[in-house]
Amino acid sequence: MTSPISFTFRATTTGQARLGTLSTPHGVVDTPQFMPVGTQATVKSLTPGDLRTAGAQMILANTYHLSLRPGHERIARLGGLHRFMGWDGPILTDSGGFQVFSLGHLRQVDEEGVTFTSHLDGSPQRLTPERAIEIQEALGSDVAMAFDQLVDPALPGPAVREAMERTHRWAARCLAARTRDDQALFGIIQGGVDERLRRHSAAAIAALPFDGLAIGGLSVGESKADMTRTLDVVADALADDVRVRYLMGVGSPLDFFDAVERGVDLFDCVLPTRVARNGQLWTSEGKLNLRNARFLDEAGPIDPACGCEACRNHSRAYVAHLFRAEELLAYRLASLHNLTYTLTLMRQIRSALADGSFASVREGVTAHYGDRRDGVR
């Protein structure tokens, strides 16, 4: 099957970092790139227009949640996910593996798939590699993900190995199940933080005819040192692979630099919008917690260097008031700001890779996000 996407890149002088262009059926994505997470066909509190204004080029939606509500068959009948949510750009759908992992005692894994209890109504549900592909094909995303078994990296080695090997078998089943020639399929590398397992998984998944490669099973409780070391192993294993690379579930400012330096092209994470809804704003001078009382008297913008709607039109005092009053506008303005900051940072990283100033940009961000004990003012 001919790939419906194409990825071209040029090497840079920064480690294994690369500047690329990912072409999809719904548009072109400049890489490295961050994908805002629209779990239930919406990035919480934001419209597709807001996302475009913030600089989003590609977004992520969730197979597990959309299959339960409103149902992938209904979305297909209504014209597919792009039309359903009013977003005409590229969409990546995850396979549900992380959500099944997070269900804990509500799930049971066997060789064929996973049986679990719906978090909505307690009804029994079944997800297999074939079912995950069927759902994603009905949704009509530009990129679908293979169904994998994610486990806690702190589990004993044999348990991590078993899940990794099952992920490889499920990957082959996902490839065999695909029928759409206009939807790319990415495989997922697992193996916890064990270097030998990660190297083996990278080789096994890279040997399969996937359109792109994802690094899963990180940012789930392991230390920063373990994550960085694991990325080093995977980067070395994939050094000669020209396919697009996607690091799943990572989205903090400093983590971008570590991962980009190791050849990662795509990111997604709920972190920027989740912390925004709790009043934590990311700025060019570090993090602010607008729930702190001192901001109620600050007349300046959230970030003078930011051009988002919140910073152009409203003061810190006003947004801090909205949070204390529990007004819905607080969540929209804060989320829009954090995504604007994150996507602007990705543009700065791309520019820095192009002109050789990556180290300098990294030092500037580290100065504001890497030194304080809690990172929040």
Q: Could you give the residue numbers annotated as active site?
A: 94, 268
Phi-psi region of 169 (alpha: psi -120 to 50; beta: other; left: phi over 0): alpha
Q: Which two tokens stand for residue 155?
A: 């589990």
Which H helix or E strand runs over 300? none
C-alpha 237/C-alpha 84 separation (Å) is 39
Q: Which two tokens stand for residue 272?
A: 């920027």
Q: Which two tokens stand for residue 115?
A: 């049986």
Do residues 16 and 262 touch, judged by C-beta distance below 8 A?
yes
Among 366, 301, 372, smallest CA distance to 337 is for 301
Among 195, 179, 283, smallest CA distance to 234 is for 195
Q: Which two tokens stand for residue 218?
A: 């990180």
- Tell me the CA distances in angstroms from 341 to 200, 281, 345, one per residue in order: 37, 9, 6
Q: Which two tokens stand for residue 113?
A: 């798939």
Do residues 188 and 149 touch, judged by C-beta distance below 8 A?
no
- The secondary structure of residue 376, as a DSSP letter, is B
What is the rounded (10 degree) CA torsion for 216, 221, 223, 226?
A: -30
C-alpha 70/C-alpha 107 separation (Å) is 21
